[in-house]
Amino acid sequence: MPELPEVEVVRSGLAPAVAGATVVAATVLDDRALTRHGGSAAAFEADLAGREITGAARRGKFLWLPLVGRDGGVPSDAVVGHLGMSGQLLLRPSGATAERHERVRLDIHHPLHGEIAVVFADQRTFGSLAIDSLVPTPDAAPGGRGTELAVVPSQVAHIARDPLDPAFRDDIFRAALARKDSAIKRVLLDQTTASGIGNIYADEALWAARIHPGVPARALSTRAVGRLLAEVRAVLEKALAEGGTSFDAQYVNVNGQAGYFVHSLNVYGRTGGPCPRCGRPIVRVSFMNRSSHYCPHCQRMPRPPA
């Protein structure tokens, strides 16, 4: 599933193409792509036609395109998207042949770039698009990366800020961990505590911070939490710089290109291989219907107090 770096790569690729563009037409080819939308496919198409897009924003794994109201003014709603397991948002020339698994197409006109097609393709149909109202952020800070507006789609309002967001509060994160008995990896995957990290980058950050994925969150010292946050940010930034992680053709950027962070992974997917730090074998264990990868030597579970 695409995680923060992959979704941010898509957002940053969309932004220059959609900011200031007008939707000429919206075409829904598969209603399953609108599972989060409150109305019909016909209403989705009609509501978008003629609307101006102001940019592309992201919080965690959610993307949204703010829309100027028909009477002008500050955007009050947006096209909000979640890529799910295999969703792709692609930029194509206007009139381009339909993509395999294409579900929705937005034909837009940009004052500089001309006619463009924004294509939502999704093989497994777990992703979705919707038109959603924008609501104020509780902290009055911008809603996410790519926007200065202190609003967020209502469907995204429950999602916490991600560790790369300038408005992310380290002190609030530390306080949340101090209240949780759950394993630290479970907490890292909780999108209401910190968003966008996901399974791959949780494993990588925990390895870099030398923290066992099963350690109770509240057992971590302030220093350990600080080290973990630093490694989470370092891993996410490196993944961003390398275009994200692509294990197959399902995750690509807006031009259809794969990311190459897969070559920088230290533990995820490296079961049985040598730990880059100590040389001992990496192990894989079942965790929350997925897998955890870690080094039992470098990431030891602390002994309970006597």
Taking only the tens place, the pLDDT of each residue in 269-292 is: 899 999 999 999 999 998 877 889
pLDDT band of 244, cuts 50, 70, 90: low
Query: Which domains does the chain possess?
Result: 4-156 (3.20.190.10), 170-294 (1.10.8.50)
Q: What is the pLDDT of residues 258-271, one digit of tens each?
A: 554 666 789 998 99
Is 233 an annotated catalytic residue? no
Catalytic member of 11, 51, 58, 61: 61
Mean pLDDT score of the chain: 91
Could you write out the three-class secondary structure of the chain?
A: CCCHHHHHHHHHHHHHHHCCCEEEEEEECCHHHHCCCCCCHHHHHHHHCCCEECCCEEECCEEEEEECCCCCCCCCEEEEEECCCCEEEEEEECCCCCCCCEEEEEEEEECCCEEEEEEEEECCCCCEEEEEEEEECCCCCCCCECCCCCEEEHHHCCCCCCCCCCCCCHHHHHHHHHCCCCEHHHHHCCCCCCCCCHHHHHHHHHHHHCCCCCCEHHHCCHHHHHHHHHHHHHHHHHHHHCCCCCCCCCCCCCCCCCCCHHHHCCCCCCCCCECCCCCCECEEEEECCEEEEECCCCCCCCCCCC
On whether 101 is known to bind a ligand per the annotation, the reply is yes
Percentage of the chain beyond pLDDT 90 is 78
Mean pLDDT computed over 161-167 = 95
Check residue 265 and give its pLDDT: 87
Percentage of the chain beyond pLDDT 70 is 92
Check residue 253 and give its pLDDT: 52
Check residue 5 and give its pLDDT: 84
Mean pLDDT computed over 163-167 = 95
On whether 185 is known to bind a ligand per the annotation, the reply is no
pLDDT at 243 over 80: no
- Of 142-146, 164-168, 250-254, least confident by mean pLDDT is 250-254
pLDDT at 86 over 80: yes
Catalytic member of 3, 6, 8, 52: 3
Is 238 an annotated catalytic residue? no
On whether 180 is known to bind a ligand per the annotation, the reply is yes
Catalytic member of 2, 142, 153, 163: 2
pLDDT at 255 over 60: no
Is 274 an annotated catalytic residue? no
- Of 118-132, 167-181, 187-201, 236-250, least confident by mean pLDDT is 236-250
Is 237 an annotated catalytic residue? no
pLDDT at 33 over 70: yes
Check residue 260 and give its pLDDT: 45
Check residue 251 and give its pLDDT: 46
Q: What is the pLDDT of residues 62-74, one digit of tens each?
A: 999 999 998 888 9
Mean pLDDT computed over 129-158 = 97
Catalytic member of 32, 290, 300, 302: 290
pLDDT band of 305, cuts 50, 70, 90: low
pLDDT at 249 over 50: no
